[in-house]
């Protein structure tokens, strides 16, 4: 390793010559994350080099090893940075005392909060798409560690409000449908920006989406509740006649 690649804790506090401000280790780490996220999203994991990331971040290449261990560790960190389904976020809508509308508001606030990050949200979505097209196994980890706990929490909450076993298929379908309303906005962000940019132009517009999604989701819950009631009131099917040999 040459002198250019040497990195010590002292280097975590450095003078940013381009901006003329003192940057601490947290800022260096953040620059690496931002640069890596954009390059990984544009080029994929395999074809993005650590030297390229360090150059884009304006920091020493050995800082990647210091903060993240290696390129794979940096890639994992970019995913954690963009994941909305953190344990704290999931716990926000799992309180059994929450009324249905408040539970839904907390759930949608967790998912759509990412859209308030502006360009970072767009880059993060491209990164997820890139991982799906060129899988490294990290998307499966995100499903297991982030999506699965959030889905389980949502089915438990919906089952509680409906008085149903959360393991039933109709509760799972309802949970996927409710989450899908928000996921459509995230996936279609660039389309909405072209066709109806005012709908996601700022935090107030995103908060308005959350409020409307709560209305839509509550209607879905009411429809499912009515379907369950109809099924319970329906007469049992007649017994099958035994076949005679």
Q: What is the pLDDT of residues 120-152, one digit of tens each?
A: 888 888 898 888 888 898 888 888 888 899 999
Q: Is the pLDDT of residue 25 over 80?
A: no
* CATH 1.10.357.10 domain range(s) in the chain: 83-232
Q: For CATH 1.10.10.60, list the domain ranges present in the chain.
A: 8-79
Who contacts 133 (Cβ-Cβ below 8 Å, separation ≥6)?
44
The backbone torsions φ and ψ at residue 225, rounded to the nearest 5 degrees and listed phi first, read -60, -40
Token code pair at residue 37: 């996220």
Global confidence as pTM: 0.78
Angle at 187 between CA 166 and CA 33, to 5 degrees: 100
State the residue for tokens 């379908």: 173
- Comparing 226 with 18, the larger pLDDT belongs to 226
At which residue do the structure tokens 């889905």 appear? 151
We find that the CATH architecture of domain 83-232 is Orthogonal Bundle (1.10)
Q: Which of 129, 105, 242 is nearest to 190 (CA)?
A: 129
Say how far apart CA 89 and CA 85 lie, in whole Å: 6
User: What architecture (CATH level 2) is domain 8-79?
Assistant: Orthogonal Bundle (1.10)
What pLDDT does residue 196 have? 95
Check pLDDT > 80 for residue 53: yes
């Amino acid at each position: 390793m040459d002198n250019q690649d040497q990195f010590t804790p002292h280097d975590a506090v450095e003078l940013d010559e381009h901006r003329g401000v003192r940057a601490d280790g947290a800022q260096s780490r953040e620059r690496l994350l931002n640069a890596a996220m954009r390059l990984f999203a544009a080029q994929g994991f395999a074809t993005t080099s650590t030297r390229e990331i360090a150059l884009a971040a304006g920091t020493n290449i050995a800082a990647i090893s210091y903060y993240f261990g290696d390129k794979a560790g940096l890639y994992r960190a970019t995913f954690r940075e963009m994941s909305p389904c953190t344990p704290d976020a999931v716990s926000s809508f799992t309180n059994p005392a929450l009324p249905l509308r408040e539970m839904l508001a907390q759930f949608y606030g967790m998912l759509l909060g990412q859209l308030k990050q502006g360009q970072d949200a767009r880059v993060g979505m491209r990164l997820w798409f890139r991982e799906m097209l060129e899988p490294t196994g990290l998307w499966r980890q995100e499903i297991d560690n982030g999506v699965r706990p959030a889905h389980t929490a949502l089915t438990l909450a919906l089952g509680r409000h409906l008085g149903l076993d959360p393991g039933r298929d109709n509760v799972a379908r309802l949970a996927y449908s409710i989450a899908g309303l928000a996921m459509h906005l995230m996936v279609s962000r660039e389309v909405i920006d072209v066709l109806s940019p005012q709908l996601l132009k700022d935090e107030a517009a995103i908060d308005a989406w959350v409020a409307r999604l709560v209305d839509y989701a509550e209607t879905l819950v009411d429809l499912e509740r009515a379907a369950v009631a109809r099924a319970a009131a329906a007469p049992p099917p007649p017994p099958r006649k035994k076949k005679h040999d």
